[in-house]
Amino acid sequence: MSPLLLLILLPLAASLLIMIGANPRRTAIVAALLNLVLSVLLFARYDLHAGGWQFLSEWHVLPNLGINLSLGADGLSMTMLLLSTLVTLSALWVAPKIEKREGLYYVCLLFISAGVIGAFSTLDVLFLYSFHELALIPTFILIGVWGSGDRQAAAWKATIYLGGASFVLLIGIISLYLSLPSGMRTFDLRQLDHLALSGTFHPASWIYLLLLVGFGTLVSLFPFHSWAPPAYACAPTPAAMLHSGVLKKFGLYGLIRICLPLFPEAIQQFNALLVLMLIGNILYIGYVTVAQKRLDWTIGYSSVMHMGYIFLGLASLTVMGINGAALLMFAHGLSVAAAFALCGEIRRRTGTLDYSELGGLGKVTPVLGLLFGFAAMASVGLPGFANFAGEILVFFGATVSSIYGPLMVVAIIIGVWGVVVSAIYMLRAYRHIFWGPIAQRWESLTDIAPTAKWSVILLLVPLMIAGFYPQIILNMVGTILPR
């Protein structure tokens, strides 16, 4: 059996076992652990010297229409698969005891995992879209049923925004297919790349705009971002970890995989628009994050803000910038998942995430405070974490870009200032929660539970390994560039 197909089927098989009566938590964690081991083995077996697509397999679905389930992975795919399996295991491990519909809860989480793994494994644009939808629908259910706060409004808002984005994206994909010469129509990424490189395929610029709006909304690109913070703040902890850490990377992955090789002229034409939008992510959302008074909303807005740096790497159109963006995708996925896991632990112990009600928790929960400090410093981009290496490459790539001009200079300056803004809101959150006098009602709190502690360490260790030795990831993602 294809190892990539096995990665997709394991979560689905675990879901089936849960539906027929297996222990939900134990079954889900075992499946996630097996998937992590398999993804690590595939990551280690990937031939860097050969590069390109490996572990290939194909099943014909509608061959007359050029629709086939083709699976394969290159360096970028392998990096995203490793990220997916790491966050999945951590999210399932940190999940609290569920009082109602426990089986459905874990089935939804496993379907999200299967969907994102399928999206990162497929070579067919239509199946890439379909796998993403498979992962998206359970997210709405998790927020609406098991969320907190104004969860119904958050679920509906996310549904409207992401449903609309998916519809726009589908129109863009169908338009791309129909714009191919008659007799050469295909959804296969390899054939599309070949047609573009040979000069026989020049898709219209308006198709790129459709894809940019569709993918951009899924990534919370300004001004299509307002669905994300409430969705993350109200979502149950594992759902927030999976969506912000992994599923959100689908839009960025699609832009790298589809738009960069197929729309070089359109990207140049509309690059100034993309730069203006990413400046909104960094500057406007950064200041909005500073104004937040709850930890969950701070982390939610922070996740939106940091997408601006990844888009800056893509907008640079340089190998260095795009490699930095790919590294930052991996780093952000791990760091934001760790932050939401710790946020969930604080909520579970105190019943609140309001800064005005917290303080001094470091005196009674030192391990929790230490882990949160690591996650906060990673988010800020402290040297030693992969976030720092990714941001440095993004800034350098933007500086040497062939489109370097006044607007790009402004974007770089704002990006550097954004690092300062990140430090302000994360250190402020750390101070409000773990430092200062402690209220009497918090003096009896116990420290972080072993399961939660090790689930967060599972994310922080690879984050630091890639921070001290980023070549582990850069050698992988570098196999796809230049395309």
pLDDT of residue 206: 92
Asked if 479 contacts 50 with a C-beta cutoff of 8 angstroms, the reply is no
pLDDT of residue 198: 78
> What's the rounded Cα separation, in Å, for the pair 111 and 439?
41
pLDDT of residue 83: 96
Interhelix angle 366-380/450-468, nearest 10 degrees = 30
pLDDT at 121 over 90: yes
Query: What percent of the chain stands above pLDDT 70?
Result: 98
pLDDT of residue 420: 93
pLDDT at 402 over 80: no
Residues 6+ apart with CB under 8 A from 336: 241, 244, 245, 299, 302, 303, 306, 379
> What's the rounded Cα separation, in Å, for the pair 355 and 436?
12
Residues 314-351: tens digit of each pLDDT: 999 899 999 999 999 999 999 999 999 999 999 988 98
pLDDT at 483 over 80: no
Asked if 218 contacts 248 with a C-beta cutoff of 8 angstroms, the reply is yes
Q: State the pTM of this model.
A: 0.94
Identify the burial level of 99 via C-beta atoms within 10 angstroms of its C-beta, where 0-12 means exposed, 13-18 middle and 19 or more buried.
exposed
Interhelix angle 295-316/406-434, nearest 10 degrees = 160
Q: Average pLDDT of 44-48?
A: 91
> What's the rounded Cα separation, in Å, for the pair 44 and 184?
36
Query: How high is the mean pLDDT of the chain?
Result: 90
> What's the rounded Cα separation, in Å, for the pair 251 and 181?
26
Asked if 229 contacts 300 with a C-beta cutoff of 8 angstroms, the reply is yes
Q: Number of C-alpha atoms within 13 angstroms, CB side, residue 383?
A: 0
Q: How many residues does the chain have?
A: 483
> What's the rounded Cα separation, in Å, for the pair 392 and 82?
23
Domain spans in the chain, listed from the N-terminal domain onward: 271-483
Q: Number of C-alpha atoms within 13 angstroms, CB side, residue 433?
A: 30
State the amino acid at position 17 in one-letter form: L
Residue in this structure with the two tokens 């927020």, named with its chain if needed? 143
* Six-digit token string for 373: 């400090």
